[in-house]
């Protein structure tokens, strides 16, 4: 569609410029050259008879007109993508589709293997891209992300969501050289040195709220934490599901000596994808992958979340 020269490409560039407020970064995100985005910005300025982005304080800022334009542009882009991507059905065996999933390292380590094996068998021409949760938070709101798999309490309001699985926190130590975690006291936990993953853990905030500060021995990639503590006297605090495969002769694990809430993981899809056949198929595959990974939902947590969600809707 072209209205007086304004087309969908201009819409995407305008939205990205409003997000990044930087021509070079917008060009990189859109996989366009910087001159192409600069030329489009010049055209858009003439079209709207407004500078849209102006320099101030060492960076670009939106003009008052651009601030008013930002939300309608984003919604138009979301609606355009929703219409462009819609299909009457999703035939997995024949589909050529690219799914984008924003997922935490922890959840990816548990469910992406089963999910991708299912995709490989049922939809050989489909590709799946995992995105880090530290990426652009606006990608989901723009409809660019097909599925979020993240802690339930950070899911967005106003979009479809579902509880996927729950997990419990455990303290782990080397079976040969670490402390006996089964008899570990709160003071023993505080006095020990700890191996932490290089990504934020929800349990860290809960421990800090209890006044517990961990003495850090090492910060390592998330997937290597349990390997690193072998042969050391250090502790690691990890979800039980991540410790499941660890040999009991190498790693001991036990509940924390503090009252810490469970880890609750949910999945979410954009409201405009609620009935989209491809999205429905992906959600089904994710549920099946969670089951294959042996992950379940604690009934008490499910009931509590259902009650809270109901209160928020009233």
Give, for all 314 residues of the chain, the pLDDT tens digit.
446 677 778 888 888 888 888 888 888 888 888 888 888 889 989 988 999 988 876 678 889 998 998 888 888 877 777 676 666 667 889 888 999 999 988 999 999 999 999 999 999 999 999 988 876 667 888 888 999 999 998 898 899 999 999 999 999 999 999 999 999 999 999 999 999 998 888 899 999 999 999 999 999 998 899 999 999 999 999 999 999 878 888 999 999 999 999 999 999 999 988 988 999 999 999 999 999 999 999 888 888 887 776 555 54
pLDDT at 89: 64
pLDDT at 164: 95
pLDDT at 135: 64
pLDDT at 314: 44
Global confidence as pTM: 0.71
Residues 167 and 261: their CA atoms lie apart, in Å, by 9
Q: List domains and CATH numbers for the chain.
A: 8-85 (1.10.10.10), 98-158+267-313 (3.40.190.10), 169-255 (3.40.190.10)
Helices 34-48 and 23-30, packing angle to 10 deg: 110
SS3 30: helix
Q: In the structure encoding, which two tokens stand for residue 197, read together?
A: 């993953």
Residues 211 and 190: their CA atoms lie apart, in Å, by 10
pLDDT at 217: 96
Helices 8-20 and 64-85, packing angle to 10 deg: 130
pLDDT at 88: 65
User: Which residues touch 301 (CB under 8 Å, ≥6 apart)?
Assistant: 163, 166, 262, 264
For 25-46, the pLDDT digits (tens) are 888 888 888 888 888 889 989 9
Give yes or no for a contact between 229 and 247, defined as CB atoms under 8 angstroms apart: no
Q: How many CA atoms lie within 13 A of 59 on its CB side?
A: 10
Give yes or no for a contact between 292 and 107, defined as CB atoms under 8 angstroms apart: no
SS3 44: helix
290: left (phi over 0), alpha (psi -120 to 50) or beta: alpha
Q: How many CA atoms lie within 13 A of 235 on its CB side?
A: 26
pLDDT at 1: 40
pLDDT at 2: 45
């Amino acid at each position: 569609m072209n209205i007086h020269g304004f087309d969908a490409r201009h819409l995407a560039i305008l939205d990205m410029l409003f997000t990044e407020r930087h021509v070079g970064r917008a060009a990189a995100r859109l996989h366009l050259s910087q001159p192409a985005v600069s030329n489009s910005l010049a055209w858009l300025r003439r079209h709207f008879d407004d500078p849209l982005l102006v320099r101030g304080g060492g960076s670009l800022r939106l003009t008052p007109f651009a601030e008013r334009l930002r939300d309608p542009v984003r919604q138009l882009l979301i609606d355009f993508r929703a219409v462009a991507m819609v299909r009457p059905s999703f035939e997995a065996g024949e589909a050529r589709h690219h799914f984008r999933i924003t997922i935490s390292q922890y959840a990816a380590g548990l469910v992406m293997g089963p999910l991708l094996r299912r995709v490989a068998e049922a939809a050989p021409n489909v590709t799946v891209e995992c995105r880090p949760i530290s990426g652009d938070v606006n990608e989901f709101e723009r409809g660019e992300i097909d599925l979020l798999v993240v802690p339930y309490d950070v899911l967005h309001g106003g979009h479809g969501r579902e509880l996927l699985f729950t997990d419990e926190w455990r303290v782990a130590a080397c079976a040969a050289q670490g402390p006996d975690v089964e008899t570990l006291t709160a003071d023993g936990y505080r006095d020990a040195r700890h191996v932490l993953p290089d990504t934020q853990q929800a349990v860290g905030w809960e421990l800090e709220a209890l006044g517990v500060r961990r003495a850090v021995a090492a910060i390592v990639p998330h997937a290597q934490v349990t390997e690193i503590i072998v042969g050391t006297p250090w502790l690691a605090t990890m979800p039980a599901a991540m410790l499941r495969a660890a040999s009991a002769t190498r790693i001991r694990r036990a509940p924390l000596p503090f009252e810490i809430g469970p880890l609750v993981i949910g999945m979410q899809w954009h409201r405009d994808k609620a009935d989209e056949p491809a999205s429905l198929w992906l959600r089904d595959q994710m549920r099946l992958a969670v089951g294959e990974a042996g992950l379940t939902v604690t009934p008490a947590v499910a009931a509590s979340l259902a009650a809270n969600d109901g209160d928020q809707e009233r």
